Amino acid sequence: MASSPNHYRSATYTVDPEGAAVGTVTAIRGSVVDVRFPHRVPRLYNLLQAKGNIAIEVLSHLSEQTVRGIALTPVQGLARGASVTDTGNSLQVPVGAKLLGRVFNVFGDPIDGQAAVAGPRRSLHASPVPLSQRATQTDILETGIKAIDLLAPIERGGKAGLFGGAGVGKTILITEMIHNVVRQYRGVSLFCGIGERSREGEELYREMKSAGVLDNTVMVFGQMNEPPGARFRVGHAALTMAEYFRDEMHRDVLLMIDNVFRFIQAGSEVSGLIGQLPSRVGYQPTLATDLAALEERICSTQSAAITSVQAVYVPADDLTDPAAVHTFSHLSASIVLSRKRMSEGLYPAVDPLQSGSKLLTPSVVGQRHYKIAQAVRITLADYEELKDIIAMLGLEELAEQERATVYRARRLERFLTQPFFTTESFTNLPGQWVSLSETLKGCERILADEFSELPERELYMIGPIGDVKGRQQAQAAAQRKTQRDKEKEKPKK
């Protein structure tokens, strides 16, 4: 998936003859390049071109004749005194239906080995939709994943975050949501990989192709080996494509971003390179502004919506890290993945007590959904408090009512696990889509102790609650077959 360092850009940018200006490189510090324009300085965010397909974006004006920019491509071969041309335009990417099924980099150039996309192009830099043009109604986007739909429902046109440290299943959950939502709603899916490993990008491309959802998907990557400027702008490139689908084609878009922390990290690198003083924990002083410039463009209008699900890496699993705190403030739903639950084999490892959604109110989801979700959360919270007592004294020392709470909570925990379509090759379990009504029915029956006589393992990795009966029948049939086989093997007298 990676582009060759010498072939980052194949698109040709037209240079406005009247706005064109030629400058000279005066300083190079890593990816930061200072350029002097003796006659006319370029505007902020203009794209500059140097020999060897080196692209530089203007970030600040140092003086009346000097600008400072960040290189979006490797700067090998660039030296002081080199000639640089102002294109007169900001960085632009292609938009339109021709993008479906394709993979692009930050410049809008295909990196899937196919031909370049011809057609209209749009600037990466755009203003958010005015408040007067935004949709005000609240709709739920059903994902088919029990733990999310029950405890942290996602808003159509809203933003949901997947918080977790390394290796807790953020990318797996995102690919499952792409699979479920694209198939169920037949919308456009747009995957934006910020700081992705090329291996992950290539695997994701193959998974999407085999799942049959690639034809309605656009993928944009700013890979880990690319300069910080490219990683910092790839999120804006994906948003520009998504906005065209929403505003011009009136299609709902599911925008998956993996990983928002890498966007913040790239901004921190750019900030340090251009000489800004670091803020708390070493982040850029403009952290809130940089993140808001990206997040505020994700919204719903009267005609269509962009719904975003964003993976957020949490450094050292510390949810008080500034990157996580600033991201929280933009989200309507927060899904926290727990390393402890993952170690217990509870997949997806959604923490039911730390995850939540602003939509989980009776006026939005309804009284029944709200009551069941609260009952589930209270039961699991009570179990969490009892764990220390169980560890010290044992389950037998608990009162009968407390033991009933523990059994109920453990069954709920196992019912909220689910086999995924995207992990069938690893688990040998067929993936399951579970509707919200089935999820509510299952939790309601478990809370009413309907399955108190059933072993906990019978509720582990199933879809709807009705699968329990099917599993019992299958096990009974298997036992009968084993018994018949044993009787056949007995020697006749």
Q: Which residue in 134, 197, 371, 445 is the catalytic one?
A: 197
**Tokens encoding 251:** 């299609």
Rounded CA-CA distance 207/311 in Å is 18
Decide if 197 is catalytic.
yes
Contact 461, 429 (CB under 8 A): yes
Task: Looking at 248-303, list the stretches that DSSP marks H as alpha helix, in order from N- to C-terminal side.
Answer: 260-273, 287-295
- Identity of the residue numbered 203: E
Contact 417, 347 (CB under 8 A): yes
DSSP at 316: G
Is residue 388 classed as helix, strand or coil in its secondary structure? helix
Helix (H) or strand (E) holding 368: helix 367-393
Rounded CA-CA distance 335/158 in Å is 14
Decide if 170 is catalytic.
yes
Rounded CA-CA distance 203/33 in Å is 35
Q: Which residue in 196, 269, 295, 438 is the catalytic one?
A: 196
Contact 177, 145 (CB under 8 A): yes
Task: Please count the helices (runs of H) and the strands (runs of E) in the chain.
Answer: 14, 18
Rounded CA-CA distance 93/91 in Å is 7
- Nearest Cα to Cα of residue 265 among 229, 316, 289: 229
Helix axes 287-295, 228-247, angle to 10 degrees: 30
Decide if 29 is catalytic.
no
Q: Which residue in 170, 297, 411, 414 is the catalytic one?
A: 170
Q: Which residues pair with 104 in a beta bridge?
A: 110, 220
Q: Which residues pair with 34 in a beta bridge?
A: 27, 68
CA distances from 147 to 275, 323, 334, 364, 434 (A): 44, 25, 12, 18, 10
Beta strand ranges found along 321-374 (DSSP E): 333-336, 356-357
Rounded CA-CA distance 479/288 in Å is 61
CA distances from 343 to 41, 168, 347, 416 (A): 57, 9, 9, 16
Burial of 4 (0-12, 13-18, 19+ CB in 10 A): exposed
Is residue 310 classed as helix, strand or coil in its secondary structure? strand
- Active site positions, annotated: 170, 196-197
